Amino acid sequence: MSAPGEPDLYEVLGISKGASKSEIKKAYHKAALSSHPDKVPEDQREEADAKFKSVSQAYEILNDDDTRDMYDQHGMAAFEKGGAGGGQGPDLDDILAQMFGGGMGGMPGMGGMPGMGGHSHGPGQRKGGKGRSELQQYEVTLEELYKGKTTRFASTKKVVCEHCKGSGGKEKAKAKPCDTCKGRGQTTQLRPVGPGLVTQETVACSTCSGRGSFYADKDKCKKCKGVRTVSAKKILELYIPRGSREGEKIVLAGEADQDPDDDSPGDIVFELVEETHKVFHRAGADLQAQLEISLAEALTGFHRVVLTHLDGRGISLNVQQPEGQVLRPDEILKIPGEGMPLKRSDAKGDLYLTVNVKFPEDGWLKDQAAVDKVRAVLPKTEPITYGPGETPELVDEVDFITVDSMEEFGADSDDPRAGGEWEDDEDEGAGGAQCQQQ
């Protein structure tokens, strides 16, 4: 969602609305490199500078799930105080207050975002509007996300006292203005912030709880004792659609604590956290698992259940010999339609099985006869043929040990090729980020 005349962040990066995190990152690297002010001729610098800034901003917003959600819902208005232009956009503080329970000064890790300063409403200042929402994390298993889940739980929340309609006083009683704060609802206080340093801050008046007035004990509502709200238990139902993903939010509208000062109560928002699964890895709607087979199975085929799917079904493979497929270590078998279900659809993603061949133990051939027997059935080993002049003149017979990894390769050498891997994309990423901070 973007207002007319406002750049669409997805267009700025040249990606689709459904782009994954890695697509966003790639697109940002590409765009940042091509528009980096240091990389263009002098006369194009101003234009490149503006483009570089908008690309960086688009990345900063879309790369974070929370800010991306806010952008998808509210457009750039979510990040501009008072909504430059129409002035009708929702205020960022309100959005943050809804999401995280109000009064928080900015968000960690979001430095440099326009309009995201540390301003916060003082206590007791918030009047009207929608109440604070509660954000809670909710852990779900991959099985639950595969099948979908409905769960009921008891929630205790504050509801506006019905007896006094939230006034806190008896029917005909009048609240008296608070002397402590002179009816302002807040007082100023000095707070030490370091050796010899104090800062003045505004806090809700403790005498009247920020209301500016209060009822004398004899005038307080009998039911809520002047608190204006009472605790109530309610059974809530949380429905997680099948195919839901990590980080998705499920909103129980209006189920947060009630406050007589709010026009409407906030929401309870559950953010899904996907538990790590011991068999399956998930990326989007696709699943990946290991296919463990023996060397004999790799060479001669098999017909059996190879794993249990998330809904409890056995998944069977039939690899027939003779003249059938040989399965090699790290080969990947793609099984269309056996991945995660897609939301609101009968379609499913795909399942990728990585072949893991269990080789026999050292010393499994007990005698020369066994060695000869295996050699006789396996394909013949072709001797190396050398071209003219390529035959080595000197041959050394060497010893070896086996190691677990290439970790020691080039260790302590400062050589970027140490560890046996050329660093790729990720390394570029770090460079790009440094670059952007200059």
Residue among 142 and 208 whose Cβ is closer to Zn ion: 208
Quote the least distance from Cβ 114 to Zn ion, whole Å.
37
Residue among 164 and 240 whose Cβ is closer to Zn ion: 164
Residue among 26 and 121 whose Cβ is closer to Zn ion: 121
Quote the least distance from Cβ 204 to Zn ion, whole Å.
8
Quote the least distance from Cβ 268 to Zn ion, whole Å.
24
Direct distance between the N- and C-terminal alpha carbons of the chain, in angstroms, rounded to an integer: 31
Quote the least distance from Cβ 231 to Zn ion, whole Å.
12
Residue among 230 and 365 whose Cβ is closer to Zn ion: 230
Question: Does residue 166 contact residue 230 with C-beta atoms inside 8 Å?
Answer: no
Residue among 89 and 210 whose Cβ is closer to Zn ion: 210
Residue among 222 and 358 whose Cβ is closer to Zn ion: 222
d(CA 186, CA 203): 5
Which of 98, 103, 105 lies closest to 132 in space, CA to CA?
98
Helices vs. strands in the chain: H and E counts, helices first: 9, 15
Quote the least distance from Cβ 123 to Zn ion, whole Å.
12
Quote the least distance from Cβ 188 to Zn ion, whole Å.
12
- CA 137: distance to chain centroid? 11
Residue among 22 and 125 whose Cβ is closer to Zn ion: 125
Question: Does residue 29 contact residue 430 with C-beta atoms inside 8 Å?
Answer: no
Question: Does residue 180 contact residue 172 with C-beta atoms inside 8 Å?
Answer: no
Residue among 44 and 180 whose Cβ is closer to Zn ion: 180
Distances (CA, A) of 154 to 137, 158, 162, 416: 16, 13, 21, 56
Q: Alpha helices of 258-413 — where are they, by DSSP H? A: 295-300, 368-377
d(CA 54, CA 51): 5
Residue among 92 and 205 whose Cβ is closer to Zn ion: 205
Residue among 22 and 207 whose Cβ is closer to Zn ion: 207
Coil vs helix vs strand at 176: strand
Quote the least distance from Cβ 93 to Zn ion, whole Å.
24
Residue among 131 and 169 whose Cβ is closer to Zn ion: 169
- CA 185: distance to chain centroid? 40
Quote the least distance from Cβ 192 to Zn ion, whole Å.
24
Q: Is residue 418 exposed (0-12), middle (13-18) or buried (19+ Cβ within 10 Å)?
A: middle
- CA 382: distance to chain centroid? 52
Question: Which residues neighbour 291 within 8 Å (Cβ) at sequence distance 6 or greater?
Answer: 306, 307, 317, 327, 333, 353, 354, 355, 356
Quote the least distance from Cβ 105 to Zn ion, whole Å.
24
- Cα within 13 Å of Cα(318), Cβ side: 0
Quote the least distance from Cβ 158 to Zn ion, whole Å.
12
d(CA 86, CA 67): 21
Quote the least distance from Cβ 225 to Zn ion, whole Å.
8
Residue 139 token pair: 């852990």
Residue 38 token pair: 């240091």
**What does the binding site for Zn ion look like in residue numbers (CB under 5 A)?**
161, 163-164, 178, 180-181, 205, 207-208, 221, 223-224
Which of 127, 102, 101 lies closest to 261 in space, CA to CA?
127
d(CA 319, CA 304): 9
